[in-house]
Structures are given as structure tokens and as C-alpha cells.
Structure 1
Amino acid sequence: MKEKKDRDDEILVCTECHHHQHISREEIPSDEILYQMAELFKTFGDPTRIRILTALSRQEMCVCDIAELLGMSQSAISHQLRVLKQMELVKFRREGKTVFYSLADSHVSTILAQGLDHVCE
């Protein structure tokens, strides 16, 4: 395969088209699944949400404890928790008047850990 490369920041392009039989279009997830994945990764695009998820990866916490830990208002934390809850990244349980938040499942921990590994390489 011939490739063009003029500068380090330039995208390499093929000058000849090769049809690879070892992958088919059916193996690519549907547009709906890809859209959902894009939305999931958008959720991880906010540093405050990453900070909240990182805190919750250590232990479950209530809004006031998260706000104090991160030095933010409870309303700002509540807003971000709503987004995380809608994306099914966090879950909650009530104990009297207090609501405790935690990560929804081990996938969230794995995504956080792998993201950290990736940027620290």
C-alpha cells in the first residue's frame, strides 16, 4: 500500500483502494448503537462529571459530601448527578432523607480506569 506523508500531523491516506474481505459492514454496530456510544462518551467529556465518578469509584456518597470534596455547590453537583443518572452511570439509594450515590456497575469503573491508563501512558 502506498501512503502519502508530508508532515507528522497530517493524516495518512491510501493512494490505492484495497477491499478487505476479513471485515464486513454487518460487523459494524448499527447507527443507533453508535449514537448511544457517542452519547456515553460525550458524558465523559465533562471534567466535573469525571471528578464525581472518580469520587464515587472509591465509595458511595451523598450530594453534600461530593460537593464538599470537590469544592462545588450542591446544586451544581445535583445537576451533574442528574446527567450521570440519565446515562445510567450512577445509581442511588435512600436512607431516610439522605440519598446516597454510587457507580451503576463495574463497567463504569473499568471505563474510568482504562481512560486514566490511556492518558497516563
Structure 2
Amino acid sequence: MADPSAEVLAEAAGVFGLLASPPRLHIVWALAQGESDVSGLAERVGGALPAISQHLSKLKLAGLVRSRREGRRVVYFVDDPETVTVMRTLVTQLAARNAPPTPTPAPLRRLGG
């Protein structure tokens, strides 16, 4: 594969920059599990509605999140499976790296002897 163009690298850096915000990364993570409206996201990620809305606007502008209307409700979702795969891979690897080591079971002792 040829080296990516400067334009592509700049765009990728911009996307990684957007996801460098823990609240935005949490929002994308939550939406990767299933679509949601702003209220549902605020409950799930623990943020105020205006802040969640601002994060969603930035993620939409970057093309990471899309939305559709359902009556008066706006439902958000991640429409790019490759972005979700990259994010899940990174988060899963970091979680595994930071997990406490599993204890080694003690050897069994024989009784009565």
C-alpha cells in the first residue's frame, strides 16, 4: 500500500483529535453499542444535555456520527463500522493492558498425609 497523502493524514489526525476527548470517545463507544437520543446518551455517559449535544455536533461534522428524526426525537448512530472497529480494538487492548493480573490458583494440597 502506498503512503497516504498529506490530506488523508491531516483528516485522520483530525478524527483522532476529536476522539481524544474522553466524553466524545464515550459517546461514540455508546453509539457503537446501539443508537440513542441525546437524553439516553446523557444518562449513559453521565453528561449534561447541552454538553452531549455539542459533542454530537462536532462528531457529526467530522462524519463519525449520523442522525435521523423519529417524530420529535433525533436518534444518533455510528454509521462507519471501520471507525468502530478501530475504536473497539484500541479500547479493548488498553483495558486488557490495564486490568489487574489474574491470580494464579494455589496448588492443591493432599489431605491426611
TM-score range, shorter chain: 0.7 to 0.9
Matched, 1:32 2:7: yes
Aligned to 1:87: 62
Structure 1 segment 70-81 matched on structure 2, within 5 A: 70-81=45-56
Distance 2:12 2:87 in 1: 15
Aligned to 2:26: 51
Structure ranking higher on relative contact order (CA contacts 8 Å, 6+ apart)? 2
Aligned to 1:101: 76
Q: Which SS does the other structure have where 2:20 is aligned?
A: coil
Superposed CA RMSD: 1.5
Q: Which runs of 5+ in 1 are unaligned?
A: 1-26
**How much has 1:37 moved relative to structure 2?**
1.0
**How much has 1:104 moved relative to structure 2?**
1.8
Q: Structure 2-normalised TM-score?
A: 0.78
Corresponding letter in the other structure for 1:71: G
**How much has 1:29 moved relative to structure 2?**
1.5
Q: Which SS does the other structure have where 2:66 is aligned?
A: strand
Aligned to 1:114: 89
Q: Which runs of 5+ in 2 are unaligned?
A: 98-113
Count of equivalent residues = 96
Report the identity percentage: 34
**How much has 1:117 moved relative to structure 2?**
3.1
Distance 1:75 1:114 in 2: 29
Aligned to 1:60: 35
Q: Structure 1-normalised TM-score?
A: 0.73
Which is richer in helix? Answer: 2
Superposed CA deviations along residues 44-67 of structure 1, whole A, max 9, x for unmatched, are: 100001110111111110001111
Superposed CA deviations along residues 16-50 of structure 1, whole A, max 9, x for unmatched, are: xxxxxxxxxxx322111111111111111000011
Corresponding letter in the other structure for 1:77: I
Q: Which SS does the other structure have where 1:61 is aligned?
A: coil
